A and B are shown apart, each in its own frame.
Chain A
Amino acid sequence: MLEKKSVSVTLEHVTKRFKNVKGKKDVIAVNEANLVIEPGELVTLLGPSGCGKTTTLRMIAGFELPTEGKIFIGNEEVTMMPPNKRDTATMFQSYGLFPHMTVYDNVAYGLKLRKIPADQIKEKVNETLGMVGLADYGDRAPSKLSGGQQQRVALARSLIVTPSVLLLDEPLSNLDALLREQMRIEIRKIQKDLGITAVYVTHDRVEAMSLSDRVVVMKDGFIRQIGPPSVIYEEPNSRFVAGFVGKATFFPVKILRKDAEKWICELGGKEAVVSHAGDNVEVGMEAVLMARPESLRVVEPGTGHIEGKVRMNVYLGNSLESFINTSFGEVLVQVDDPHAKKIYAEGSDVSIDFAPDRVRLLNKDET
């Protein structure tokens, strides 16, 4: 088995500015990023395209230099160190397999550079190919493999040099849905077994949720929130994070007062109680009330917070999605285990209800 190595990765005030050659303005890809990744942790950088997540990864790998700030791997500062001197291994979106070499030579490449005796290389390559399930594919050309197999070759090639940090740049985006799920689990298993520190870049929230110990949500070069998947999903600090990591409805509200750690706000002319709030929320301000579809309940007209009419029901087996027209627009309510609940027919008047601790007050700014 490959040896275990666990180190931390630290970013201190890392900023990356790209000089724009033709236009006059510089592009700030990453702005003042501060991040500590613990040894053995898998951290996902999540965000829409252009948010700076790949640039951050490439700075950790050494392909880009930060304009300002410092990067540490373990206790060693690596800010200026070229990629070939860093103890990192990157898996690229396009795999970056060497097309003129066989699968075996691809995997052996890093070991050959380290001047390891041929018989040891052979043993290690075969072992690693076995680990990713490609034991019999050593003499094939990479171009003759399927996408998933190419993915495994890239993984084997990265892991065989026992890097301290594994960097994954949207590695699954070229695979079909089923394979993606399978590979996701496989990567997570191997990462846990080896205890290797990993940074994973993706724009897919499901991938980020299911893989990570912690998720870093980024937008426009800024880190917006860092936390375990459950926190990111259930306790988002901003409207952007809430909307990006899952389905949500935002009701405009006015915050009236705060009573015993609970927020009292005005929602559609009635008062509503909310237990939690995100950043930049104060008494007296206009805000939004964020509700996930599964946090809402459909109840008899007049008994809930918001009145409406069922427009359409979509049956999904383990749940049912109810689209309800309200004065705030269309609201999606997810009814779990629909057999055990009362289902309101399309066209019937209903009311939407929620528990105070299942929704969240957020600053109404989109960003």
Chain B
Amino acid sequence: MFTKKRIIQFCFAALIFLSLDLWMFKTLSTNFRSYEELRNFNEIELFAQTAPEDQDLQAYEKWIPSVKSIIAGARAFYFSFDEMQGDFVPSTGSETSFRLWDKYKESTEFRKAMESVYYLEPMKLSGSYKADYSLDPDIHSQETIASQVYFVPVIDENGYQANGAIMILVPNSTATGYMSLLRTIFISAAVIFLGIMLVITFTRDPITGFMVLALFGVVVIFIAYPLLEAVRLSFMKDGVVSLQTWKETLSPTYLVALWGSLRLGVLTATISTIVGYMFAFLIERTSFRQKKVMSTLATMPVISPPFSLSLSIILLFGNNGLISKQLLHLNTSIYGLGGLTLVEVIGMFPIAFMTISGVLRQIDSTVEDASLDLNATKWHTFKSITLPLSAPGIVSAWLLVFTNSLADFANPLLLSGDYRVLSTEAYMLVTGRSNLSAGSALSFLLLMPTITAFLIQRQWVGKKSYVTVTGKPSTTLTELTNKPVRVSLEVVSWTFIGFIVALYLTIVAGCFVVNWGIDYSFTLANWGEALSRGWTAIRDTVTLAAIATPIAGLLAMLTAMLVVRKKFPGKRLLETLIMTPYAIPGTLIGISYILAFNKPPLLLVGTGAIIVINYVIRELPVGVENGITALHQIDPAIEESAADLGADVTTVFRTIVLPLIRPAFLSSMSYTFVRSMTAVSAIIFLISARWNHLTVLIFNFSENLRFGLASVLSTILIVIVLMVWALMQVLVKDDKLTQKTISTR
């Protein structure tokens, strides 16, 4: 592959292109500079002609600063001609210019310039001079900037003699916008060209090469770069390297928040795991009848929008809550650790439930039979066989919920009260005090426990599974409970589910009430107002999610194919980077995106594109995992046959891979859509006047105690999400049907 001939070929082509690139860049930038010089000369000469006719100092004092209206950011200083000395003497003008002149007045350059002005010739000094603009700052220039220096005479009305001279400083910054654009264009041209050359010369399958290259581009620009930028900025203060931000972050103020996050995480994870185990056990290991209904209802909170549960809890148990105030006349507050734990457990126990179910389902019932056969009691069998066998599931579930709780942003935002957690603390720093670097430092603080838990879950639990899939599923399950135990489990579970359903119904009820907590009379007014004020947000949210969905789906499947089927250098790195957004909290992604993309060359903050990109990047890991699992079940010989028959990579992907992994494709699309519709933690940093998000609007309404409006929007969001979810379910089923008709024809 890397033969000498090819390397020489590549180096030669690269050399030619690079020198061409550099030459064009030089020419264009020189042209631009000389054009700019010419233009500045013209402007300055025109400016000099507008000099006040009388030699009054006050008139000049007024006139000199007006140079800024002709050249943005420029500074001028006026020298009047002193007949006695036969030379120009400083008169009035900007301090910045004067200091510079004072510093260099003895230099030959400056002397020559003054002489030239004396002979009525305007002149520009070659080279640039550093001038300190902080002496008289304006909006364009405040700091020390390299500047061009112009000298121009003020000629008397006869046109014979110079009444005075003006020295004008033009900061280079006016040109840097254009210059940096030019530089960006030429550097990216070089990078793209070299990439393409590299692929063409050194791979035998250019299409795959380009796909890998493009994927690397996406991953580096939209995952690695923002995160590195966030790391970098957390070590900067006022433009210099400093540990100040981290010192502040590790102060007691924020360590309290870290402690708060950890406490909430541990509580939520523990309770969720217990509740999840109860549900999983009831559904997988008992002769309970309504398994389908129960498991559907128990998974619902996973797809519900972020603020809805908190909203509903506030409506019922808040300061003006229906139950707390109207029914029980309590004065205890739901805000704080208790309320947060309650909401997070309801929202996250499905994760534990699904994880543990998966493990319980695979336990071979014959080992329990063996235990019972040896005259162990049912309780003893459960304690000594079933529970230890499901241990990996329990640990895994606990860690997953813990990670989710730490990253949770929406619930603490509404419910934390005085209780402080890191994710919202970072948000406050960024939005309230616009301290981005401290915000990112806090998010990194949050990242540490999150990523630790994530890695343990991946590395340790993933391998330490006692469950073996034998491929010989046992047909009967041993009933491990007696009737009273089962019935009590059922009652507890149904009560829990009933509570969840009640929470959702509360939101629906909230839509039709004039003013919750005060006036419970029926009204439809909320709908009108919510729709008129929220219509653009609904439209934006659906549009952006709909754009992101197919992109994320296709990209995920393509990535899965490359990762599973192709060999290329840097595969591990690519996989790791793609999986990264799954482990890091949304707040960190949001903050790192505004840090990275609110400046050229990638000025994306404020556009819809950044929101779409954020959706795609955040939901890619799950889609890729889905795709990888699906592809592992497909015989590589099928794709090889297609390639063998003449199909290139894209054709294989389109005609073979995609149809075969269609269920994974559809489910990752529906996942992306649902998650994008209900996103909040990263999105709240990225929305703009032009592009709003429904969840953020719900948050704003809730915060302003407009619970009716928040309820209406939540209900709409839930309905949209459920509809799309159901649609995808039908599509996946439909797929099986068509396969059946083919096979029975």
User: What residues of chain A have their CB less than 8 Å away from a CB belonging to chain B?
Assistant: 61, 63, 65, 80-86, 88-90, 92-100, 102, 109-110, 113-114, 139-141, 143-144, 154, 157-158, 161
Question: How far apart sit A78 and B204, CA to CA, in the bound complex (Å)?
Answer: 11
Which residue of B647, B743, B745 is within 8 Å of A84 (Cβ)?
B647
Across-interface contacts of B1 in A (CB, < 8 A): 65, 80
Across-interface contacts of A92 in B (CB, < 8 A): 637, 640-641
Closest 10 CB pairs of A and B: A96-B637, A110-B645, A96-B641, A92-B637, A80-B204, A141-B743, A83-B643, A113-B646, A82-B205, A100-B659
CB contacts under 8 Å to A, within B632-651, are: 635, 637-648, 651
Across-interface contacts of B655 in A (CB, < 8 A): 109
CB contacts under 8 Å to A, within B609-665, are: 635, 637-648, 651, 655-656, 659-660
Confirm or deny: B482 has a beta carbon within 8 angstroms of a beta carbon on chain A: no
Q: How far is the CB of A157 from chain B (nearest CB, A)?
A: 7
Across-interface contacts of B205 in A (CB, < 8 A): 82
CB contacts under 8 Å to A, within B144-170, are: none
Confirm or deny: B742 has a beta carbon within 8 angstroms of a beta carbon on chain A: yes
In the complex, per-residue mask of B1-32: 1 if CB is within 8 Å of any chain A CB, else 0: 10000000000000000000000000000000
Across-interface contacts of A141 in B (CB, < 8 A): 739, 742-743
| A143 and B743 contacting across the interface, CB-CB below 8 Å | yes
Residue among A80, A96, A102, A113 with the most chain B CB within 10 A?
A: A96
| A99 and B646 contacting across the interface, CB-CB below 8 Å | no
User: What residues of chain B have their CB less than 8 Å away from a CB belonging to chain A?
Assistant: 1, 204-205, 635, 637-648, 651, 655-656, 659-660, 739, 742-743, 745
| B638 and A161 contacting across the interface, CB-CB below 8 Å | no
Q: Other than A98-B641, A140-B745, give 6 A-B pairs with Cβ distance below 8 A.
A: A85-B646, A86-B644, A89-B644, A94-B635, A96-B635, A158-B645
Across-interface contacts of A99 in B (CB, < 8 A): 638, 660
Across-interface contacts of A143 in B (CB, < 8 A): 743
**A143 to chain B: closest residue by CB:** B743
| A83 and B640 contacting across the interface, CB-CB below 8 Å | yes
| B645 and A109 contacting across the interface, CB-CB below 8 Å | yes
| A90 and B640 contacting across the interface, CB-CB below 8 Å | yes
| B646 and A84 contacting across the interface, CB-CB below 8 Å | yes
| B635 and A81 contacting across the interface, CB-CB below 8 Å | no
Question: How far apart sit A92 and B644, CA to CA, in the bound complex (Å)?
Answer: 11
Which residue of B638, B639, B645, B745 is within 8 Å of A113 (Cβ)?
B645
**A80 to chain B: closest residue by CB:** B204
Please, could you name 9 A-B residue pairs with CB atoms under 8 Å apart, sorted by A? A82-B643, A89-B645, A90-B641, A94-B635, A96-B640, A99-B660, A109-B647, A140-B745, A161-B646
Question: How far apart sit A93 and B638, CA to CA, in the bound complex (Å)?
Answer: 11
Question: How far apart sit A90 and B656, CA to CA, in the bound complex (Å)?
Answer: 17
Across-interface contacts of B646 in A (CB, < 8 A): 84-85, 110, 113-114, 161
Q: How far is the CB of B640 from chain A (nearest CB, A)?
A: 6
Which residue of A94, A109, A158 is within 8 Å of B637 (Cβ)?
A94
Across-interface contacts of B645 in A (CB, < 8 A): 84, 89, 109-110, 113, 157-158, 161
Question: How far apart sit A97 and B641, CA to CA, in the bound complex (Å)?
Answer: 8
Question: How far apart sit A123 and B643, CA to CA, in the bound complex (Å)?
Answer: 24
Across-interface contacts of A144 in B (CB, < 8 A): 743
Question: How far apart sit A102 and B743, CA to CA, in the bound complex (Å)?
Answer: 9
| B638 and A96 contacting across the interface, CB-CB below 8 Å | yes
| A98 and B642 contacting across the interface, CB-CB below 8 Å | yes
Question: How far apart sit A99 and B743, CA to CA, in the bound complex (Å)?
Answer: 10
Question: How far apart sit A100 and B738, CA to CA, in the bound complex (Å)?
Answer: 10
Which DSSP category, helix, strand, loop or mixed, fits chain A's interface?
Answer: loop
Q: How far is the CB of B654 from chain A (nearest CB, A)?
A: 11
Question: How far apart sit A83 and B643, CA to CA, in the bound complex (Å)?
Answer: 6
Across-interface contacts of B742 in A (CB, < 8 A): 102, 141
Residue among B1, B644, B651, B656 with the most chain A CB within 10 A?
A: B644
Q: A65-B1, A140-B745, A143-B743 are in contact. Are A88 and B644 (CB under 8 A)?
A: yes
Question: How far apart sit A61 and B659, CA to CA, in the bound complex (Å)?
Answer: 25
Question: How far apart sit A99 and B637, CA to CA, in the bound complex (Å)?
Answer: 12
Residue among A63, A89, A100, A109 with the most chain B CB within 10 A?
A: A100
**B634 to chain A: closest residue by CB:** A99
Q: How far is the CB of A71 from chain B (nearest CB, A)?
A: 12
**A89 to chain B: closest residue by CB:** B644
Question: How far apart sit A318 and B613, CA to CA, in the bound complex (Å)?
Answer: 77
Across-interface contacts of B745 in A (CB, < 8 A): 139-140
Question: How far apart sit A61 and B636, CA to CA, in the bound complex (Å)?
Answer: 14
| B638 and A98 contacting across the interface, CB-CB below 8 Å | yes
Across-interface contacts of A114 in B (CB, < 8 A): 646
Question: How far apart sit A290 and B641, CA to CA, in the bound complex (Å)?
Answer: 43
Q: How far is the CB of B471 from chain A (nearest CB, A)?
A: 18
Question: How far apart sit A161 and B639, CA to CA, in the bound complex (Å)?
Answer: 17
Which residue of A80, A84, A93 is within 8 Å of B643 (Cβ)?
A84
| B647 and A100 contacting across the interface, CB-CB below 8 Å | no
**B660 to chain A: closest residue by CB:** A100
Q: A94-B637, A141-B742 are in contact. Are A82 and B204 (CB under 8 A)?
A: yes
Q: How far is the CB of A208 from chain B (nearest CB, A)?
A: 22
**A67 to chain B: closest residue by CB:** B1
Across-interface contacts of B643 in A (CB, < 8 A): 63, 82-84
| B647 and A113 contacting across the interface, CB-CB below 8 Å | yes
| B656 and A98 contacting across the interface, CB-CB below 8 Å | yes
Which residue of B204, B642, B659 is within 8 Å of A109 (Cβ)?
B642
**A64 to chain B: closest residue by CB:** B567
Across-interface contacts of A139 in B (CB, < 8 A): 745
Question: How far apart sit A261 and B655, CA to CA, in the bound complex (Å)?
Answer: 65
Across-interface contacts of A82 in B (CB, < 8 A): 204-205, 643, 648
| A90 and B644 contacting across the interface, CB-CB below 8 Å | yes
Across-interface contacts of A110 in B (CB, < 8 A): 645-646
Question: How far apart sit A99 and B639, CA to CA, in the bound complex (Å)?
Answer: 11
Q: A140-B745, A161-B646 are in contact. Are A65 and B204 (CB under 8 A)?
A: yes
Question: How far apart sit A272 and B668, CA to CA, in the bound complex (Å)?
Answer: 76
Across-interface contacts of B639 in A (CB, < 8 A): 96
Across-interface contacts of A83 in B (CB, < 8 A): 640, 643-644
| A113 and B651 contacting across the interface, CB-CB below 8 Å | yes
Question: How far apart sit A157 and B656, CA to CA, in the bound complex (Å)?
Answer: 15
Across-interface contacts of A90 in B (CB, < 8 A): 640-641, 644
| A95 and B637 contacting across the interface, CB-CB below 8 Å | yes
| B204 and A81 contacting across the interface, CB-CB below 8 Å | yes
Across-interface contacts of B637 in A (CB, < 8 A): 92-96
Q: How far is the CB of A76 from chain B (nearest CB, A)?
A: 14
**B651 to chain A: closest residue by CB:** A113
**A160 to chain B: closest residue by CB:** B645
Question: How far apart sit A158 and B644, CA to CA, in the bound complex (Å)?
Answer: 9
Question: How far apart sit A93 and B636, CA to CA, in the bound complex (Å)?
Answer: 11
Q: How far is the CB of B379 from chain A (nearest CB, A)?
A: 44
Q: How far is the CB of A288 from chain B (nearest CB, A)?
A: 41
**A93 to chain B: closest residue by CB:** B637
**B744 to chain A: closest residue by CB:** A144
**B572 to chain A: closest residue by CB:** A21
Across-interface contacts of A93 in B (CB, < 8 A): 637
Q: How far is the CB of A360 from chain B (nearest CB, A)?
A: 40
Question: How far apart sit A102 and B637, CA to CA, in the bound complex (Å)?
Answer: 17
**A63 to chain B: closest residue by CB:** B640
Q: How far is the CB of A136 from chain B (nearest CB, A)?
A: 13
**A87 to chain B: closest residue by CB:** B646
Across-interface contacts of B659 in A (CB, < 8 A): 100
Across-interface contacts of B640 in A (CB, < 8 A): 61, 63, 83, 90, 92, 96
Q: How far is the CB of B206 from chain A (nearest CB, A)?
A: 9
Across-interface contacts of A65 in B (CB, < 8 A): 1, 204
Which residue of A80, A81, A85, A97 is within 8 Å of B638 (Cβ)?
A97
Across-interface contacts of B656 in A (CB, < 8 A): 98
Q: How far is the CB of A253 from chain B (nearest CB, A)?
A: 47
Across-interface contacts of A84 in B (CB, < 8 A): 643-648
Across-interface contacts of B660 in A (CB, < 8 A): 99-100
Across-interface contacts of A95 in B (CB, < 8 A): 637
Q: How far is the CB of A165 from chain B (nearest CB, A)?
A: 11
Across-interface contacts of A63 in B (CB, < 8 A): 640, 643
Q: How far is the CB of A219 from chain B (nearest CB, A)?
A: 25
Q: How far is the CB of A185 from chain B (nearest CB, A)?
A: 24
